[in-house]
Structure 1
């Protein structure tokens, strides 16, 4: 058996080189929509697959993981664990894995270039959002909602094929299916996860029913229809994953004439976190052929952090930019002296927690006074309604998240079932939304995550839970009722959450930060009770 350093060091150099090149190609592909960059991205990912597919390396890695010396060196052992998580899914047939990468990239490219056809012309996702938030004609809303699902029809067959390929690869790697393998590699216990989800379903069912009843009453007035006539297109988001503007809470006007980028920069600076360098490298505004979504990417784990966005001057994009820069500051303030593999967040859910913690602030009255120039008296008047609005937002998101997690769980267990029917059964169960009569379309495939970010959504839900935990943790640490405009807020996050990187598992990080593991009690206390 080779020495640990002769095994580990050259492989880590290769991983760093290929992963950095892959990230750069992905950035170019999603900011330009050019197929040459998609091909480069596919090539680098396939190079990584070849690296991680070595059976000889994998056997050596398992031996080193079992070696007593490795277990005594915690940083070394953690690197070996994370490296094993890369080798495990790449042990199946190389041609199969290459096919998976190619199909994933094709679907991603389809979403990047796709523009909805509406009234005979292509329009952006932002324009669909504008219609669903502002149009009062139900017929026009229906056309916009149905148009938002067009991409689903185009990619559905390929997504199902991809699901089957992923399952086949997971079985070759020794797992029941891709879903089970993904949770294992994410260091999530399936039983614990679904226990938390069951608790959330139980605690939110009646509050959500009551909140949606009030929302539906508002919709009957807005659209001059009866409750029985309310359909999916009457909500302000194509998937009903966002809370619509309420009658007495209109946040968009506060951002109409504002510089959202400058607000974001100032807010983070006020809590001791500098985002100037991240914003300078970012691509923030709409352009033809550019990916219409938003993401943050750490190109090299050495400080090259960027955000892709399509900003408009409204509350949604203000919240989204805060969210993405939440990811960005986490990446930025990880200890740079750590080895390459450990210069990442402890877990996807921990970086989502920070992003969600930041994104919620646009519904915080104090934040609106400080950064959106809302008069103090007006903010006080809106205080209770904003609190109720944020609770509604959280209820809506959790119920939507339950749709996604349960759908993926069932899809990977049986991809040959009627997925259109499965989707609507879950939408009706968790979101209390009626399926349009006679509709039998692959609406599920219009959600980009299902094809290109599989088995990810549970991390959004767990991230929201941790964000609520952080809310109470920071207030307790600062012995104050606010964490805004306090550099001690950023200092706390750097010390407790960011700096450790991935040198310990996420559940140990959380226990070290507040003395207990992930607990849904805090989310329920903040938003449900």
Structure 2
């Protein structure tokens, strides 16, 4: 047997890692000890910076103030600088090649590698990316559509697009809502090129490829799934849209051939227009949306009173006009930003955002290591949020929650059609977003205005406005603040359908998924805690899907929902 010589330096290092020369530690034990030390040091250095950055991000989106956005930018720069440390990354890269008996340590190293990898570019380039993204996000928060000398909030834009019978007014409001695109176009294009520069520095073809890789996905696999969904949804979407078009045109007193994007109520046609005799908003005009949310989530054993207490939920100047949920510290400080008005859209939105909140450090056990104490993946948290959101259109859910409906049968019929149409319409919209962002980063110098409308025409069936050449793509905030993210919403819908069908089968005694009602069912909350929330990020998204449903992510349940 060869003799093992241990140098004085090695003995010193081993002592620092809590080992001794006499322990005759194996290579695996040695690597494991180094990994543990790296993780401990990472948490000590990075956790305070992530906490500060999360708070600064929250404050900036709440206030819209210059000083808060500057603080947000400064906090992100400090976090980026810490993660860009090349000596730390070299150590992490070495650990990634090691073999560990402890799966939790191995998974933390995998996740940390991806987190650090993104920052292994010139620090000045990182600062430029942060500054440019910050500037564009600030412009979005400050922007309000201007029509006839009046400033309109996002909710007011939606209300007019839903209720107005005047096509000229609708067009004016729609076009005004899109002008934010022109305001941010130059900065957005510059940001895309900066992101690509960072991707090239890391040997990726472009930022789209990089971002998917950082999220444990591949562009080829995602595109293959979306091609399958395209074939699955194209015909039923065309049939549903033909019916919607007839109803829209009839309600507006115009011909189907004259329908344009501003007639479809949602500014991007990502939501189904309200074209049925029963108006789903009628259930919510007098309802207390927050009370319904509190009672619903408490009834399934996932109370959210503490989240609501920390949240900012109504419109005000300078505040982001959108909605999101954020976990500030991975210790239970979870918050929602919203702009509630009493209608079905905001009922669904609040069920959605509070669905994110229950899939967070509120319900991921504190025993899960800090690095992994977050959702398995963005598609899994979006899926959970979407699964709960669907109930806003459900008559059975509303009556179970004590909301009186004038005609429950008519509401149920309209809601069922709206839910099905939502799945179809949203699926087609996600095709546009995925394919546009893929091409945006592949060639940012092409005619992006034309690319956008070519995809909208192809996948959503909308008619391009005559002689329009405007950066309408740039009016979608996700392209700025959540790049290469949107496909995860659609994959989240598949996850939502798969989990919902599992709950119907295993928790609700085999009830038909279309009839599954969670109200008052604490067993639903237990299932979600045990099968979806508890693993945190110890499992990758594909392994979590198997853990929760017994199958890999697939479109079978989603396809069944389209038929029911």
Q: Give the TM-score range, shorter chain.
A: over 0.9
What is the CA distance between 1:229 and its match in structure 2? 0.6
Residues of 1 paired with 2:312 and 2:412: CA distance? Answer: 34
CA spacing shift, 1:6–1:471, aligned 2, 3 Å:
closer
Larger radius of gyration: 2
**Equivalent residues of 1:368, 1:379 under 8 A apart:** no
Unaligned runs of 5+ residues in structure 1 are none
2:255 paired residue number: 226
2:324 paired residue number: 295
Residues of 1 paired with 2:550 and 2:293: CA distance? Answer: 31
**Equivalent residues of 1:204, 1:528 under 8 A apart:** no
Residues of 1 paired with 2:282 and 2:548: CA distance? Answer: 38
What is the CA distance between 1:53 and its match in structure 2? 1.1
Q: Does residue 368 of structure 1 match 2:393? A: no
1:468 paired residue number: 497
**Equivalent residues of 1:469, 1:522 under 8 A apart:** yes
**Equivalent residues of 2:401, 2:519 under 8 A apart:** no
Deviations 1:442-468 (A, max 9, x none): 000000011111000011000011111
1:30 paired residue number: 61
Residues of 2 paired with 1:4 and 1:355: CA distance? Answer: 34
What is the CA distance between 1:374 and its match in structure 2? 3.3
**Equivalent residues of 1:242, 1:393 under 8 A apart:** yes
TM-score, length basis structure 1? 0.97
Residues of 2 paired with 1:86 and 1:406: CA distance? Answer: 25
Residues of 2 paired with 1:436 and 1:44: CA distance? Answer: 42
2:525 paired residue number: 490
Residues of 1 paired with 2:217 and 2:223: CA distance? Answer: 10
Q: Does residue 264 of structure 1 match 2:299? A: no
Residues of 2 paired with 1:521 and 1:156: CA distance? Answer: 39
Q: Which of the numbers 65, 76, 82 marks the counterpart of 1:45?
A: 76
Residues of 1 paired with 2:477 and 2:563: CA distance? Answer: 29
Deviations 1:93-118 (A, max 9, x none): 11111100110111111111111111
Residues of 1 paired with 2:402 and 2:282: CA distance? Answer: 10
What is the CA distance between 1:528 and its match in structure 2? 4.3
Q: Which of the numbers 329, 333, 341 marks the counterpart of 2:371?
A: 341
Q: Does residue 358 of structure 1 match 2:388? A: yes
Residues of 2 paired with 1:528 and 1:125: CA distance? Answer: 33
2:24 paired residue number: none
**Equivalent residues of 1:265, 1:276 under 8 A apart:** yes
2:447 paired residue number: 418
Q: Which of the numbers 83, 90, 95 marks the counterpart of 1:64?
A: 95
Q: Which of the numbers 470, 491, 507 marks the counterpart of 2:542?
A: 507
1:519 paired residue number: 554
Q: Secondary structure at the match of 2:326?
A: strand
1:435 paired residue number: 464
Question: After superposition, where does 1:118-267 map in structure 2 within 5 Å?
Answer: 118-267=147-296
What is the CA distance between 1:378 and its match in structure 2? 2.6
What is the CA distance between 1:343 and its match in structure 2? 0.7
**Equivalent residues of 2:144, 2:177 under 8 A apart:** no
Q: Which of the numbers 65, 78, 83 marks the counterpart of 2:112?
A: 83
Q: Which of the numbers 83, 95, 102 marks the counterpart of 2:131?
A: 102
CA RMSD in angstroms, aligned pairs only: 1.3
Q: Secondary structure at the match of 1:307?
A: strand
Q: Does residue 278 of structure 1 match 2:313? A: no
Q: How many residues align?
A: 526
Question: After superposition, where does 1:394-409 map in structure 2 within 5 Å?
Answer: 394-409=423-438
**Equivalent residues of 1:203, 1:528 under 8 A apart:** no
**Equivalent residues of 1:166, 1:178 under 8 A apart:** yes
Q: Secondary structure at the match of 1:67?
A: coil
2:25 paired residue number: none
What is the CA distance between 1:372 and its match in structure 2? 5.7
1:455 paired residue number: 484
Q: Secondary structure at the match of 1:335?
A: coil
Q: Secondary structure at the match of 2:325?
A: strand
Deviations 1:139-180 (A, max 9, x none): 100000000101000001111111111011001011111000
1:326 paired residue number: 355
Unaligned runs of 5+ residues in structure 2 are 1-9, 14-33
Q: Which of the numbers 335, 345, 350 marks the counterpart of 1:306?
A: 335
Deviations 1:261-285 (A, max 9, x none): 0110001111111100000000001
2:26 paired residue number: none
**Equivalent residues of 2:174, 2:267 under 8 A apart:** yes
1:384 paired residue number: 413
Residues of 2 paired with 1:394 and 1:218: CA distance? Answer: 19
Higher RCO (C-alpha under 8 Å, 6+ residues apart): 1
CA spacing shift, 1:169–1:280, aligned 2, 3 Å:
same
**Equivalent residues of 1:197, 1:402 under 8 A apart:** yes
Deviations 1:483-521 (A, max 9, x none): 332000000000000111001111111111222110111
Residues of 2 paired with 1:77 and 1:473: CA distance? Answer: 30
Higher alpha-carbon deviation: 410-419 or 109-118:
109-118
